[in-house]
Structure 1
């Protein structure tokens, strides 16, 4: 663990959910195994997941995702996690957290050619702006800042 990384387990997640999202308080909470280190993820029942930033910089991701993900999601050729709620700091956890719809899937072996085609369509949808973003900005780029150089005049 890094010096500023939080160690998170299921019990604080239960308390956070009960405190701010009573509609989901009775759901079972179980950790999601992940190779990622920026966030801890916990299933809330079978159809939801809570994502908690372990590092200070991760809280901005949660807020940005809840602001812009719902707009392009219906226009993309692959599903993206649908944000449902943002939790405020509380119950001993000083960072915002997100609750999303769970996307079923697996990390098993897949046909790489199919994955490449689907990923290409997904990226093209974002680059060609067929998927709207708030204010027409580039997702993940702070307001008032430019994205890639080609973003000013369209893709090459």
Structure 2
């Protein structure tokens, strides 16, 4: 089952043909689909050192190219400031071989994603995650401010999306209780200036070795945002004990902590219903995050 109505099919054969046509220097390398719960890209390994990312949702090729170039710049910038390994951009591919959009190539990072090697009970992982976020916050925004329609700006700007999520979640979740929570979350004031943020710290975007953070993926969204945005990782990735360690390490005050909870709530509400049939692990992650938030408020 596809995840999106406008999803584009990408196969190993298509990727191999694109590599042969556009990057013949890699044509002898094995092409392998990477199993992933990701919802934005299909990911293929090229040999042992590279990965190719193919946008899944059909869009105008010129617009996709603009996005991929912006993401490459953001990924390169994050890799320079991160205390932990992150993929670095290598090349941009063109449409071809039946695939209608540009695509990207970056370095491959070894490791196991947190959705497969659950680090949620590790204090050491919580400290690592906080250290990663702190290294991003220390990066210079160079005068840039949040300018996206995504998460990271004004909570109340997401009211229409949340209304749809509540409607779609009838029969799946305790919607009256969740509506009351959002009515409180959306009014939390913003006090801190934008800081540089990863923007999507979910289990599928972090790598684990043992019980430690070993790398961070999906870094193309690196940019200025609400300082509370990356605190979503506390709810997506950690149980209560390590979550407390994470908070102490970052020295979050009550307001920032609640806003981080609000951003995690907004993200999780969209995951549960949208992916319930097409991507059950992603839907389950959203439900687990909501459960953690609800437990914290009892």
Q: Confirm or deny a common fold (TM above 0.5).
A: yes
Number of the residue aligned with 1:151: 194
Q: Name the structure where helix makes up a greater proportion of residues.
A: 2
| Residue 116 (structure 1) shift | 1.5
- RMSD of the alignment, in Å? 2.7
Match of 1:52 among 34, 45, 54: 54
Runs of 4 or more off by more than 6 Å in structure 1?
none
Number of the residue aligned with 2:5: 3
Return the TM-score normalized by structure 1. Answer: 0.79
User: Where do 1:88-107 residues align within 5 Å?
Assistant: 88-106=94-112, 107=116
Q: Does 1:125 align with 2:135?
A: yes
| Residue 117 (structure 1) shift | 1.3
Distance in 2 of aligned mates of 1:68 and 1:9: 27
User: Where do 1:18-57 residues align within 5 Å?
Assistant: 18-56=20-58
Distance in 1 of aligned mates of 2:50 and 2:97: 20
Kept in 2: contact 1:29–1:42 (CA 8 A): yes
Q: Does 1:108 align with 2:114?
A: no
5+ long unaligned stretches in structure 1:
none
Kept in 2: contact 1:77–1:118 (CA 8 A): no
| Residue 7 (structure 1) shift | 1.7
Distance in 1 of aligned mates of 2:103 and 2:14: 12
User: For the structure 1 residues 113 and 32, does the alpha-carbon distance in structure 2 shift closer, same or farther, using more than 3 Å as the test?
Assistant: same
Aligned pairs, how many? Answer: 147
After superposition, what is the alpha-carbon deviation per residue over 1:90-144, rounded to whole angstroms, capped at 9, x for unaligned? 2221111111111000132446222211111111222222xx56x65368x56xx
User: For the structure 1 residues 18 and 29, does the alpha-carbon distance in structure 2 shift closer, same or farther, using more than 3 Å as the test?
Assistant: same
User: For the structure 1 residues 39 and 21, does the alpha-carbon distance in structure 2 shift closer, same or farther, using more than 3 Å as the test?
Assistant: same
Number of the residue aligned with 1:15: 17
User: For the structure 1 residues 102 and 85, does the alpha-carbon distance in structure 2 shift closer, same or farther, using more than 3 Å as the test?
Assistant: same
Distance in 1 of aligned mates of 2:18 and 2:30: 13
User: For the structure 1 residues 84 and 49, does the alpha-carbon distance in structure 2 shift closer, same or farther, using more than 3 Å as the test?
Assistant: same
Return the TM-score normalized by structure 2. Answer: 0.44
5+ long unaligned stretches in structure 2:
154-189, 196-225, 228-255, 257-298
- Higher radius of gyration, 1 or 2: 2
Kept in 2: contact 1:39–1:51 (CA 8 A): yes
After superposition, what is the alpha-carbon deviation per residue over 1:1-25, rounded to whole angstroms, capped at 9, x for unaligned? 2220012110000011111111111
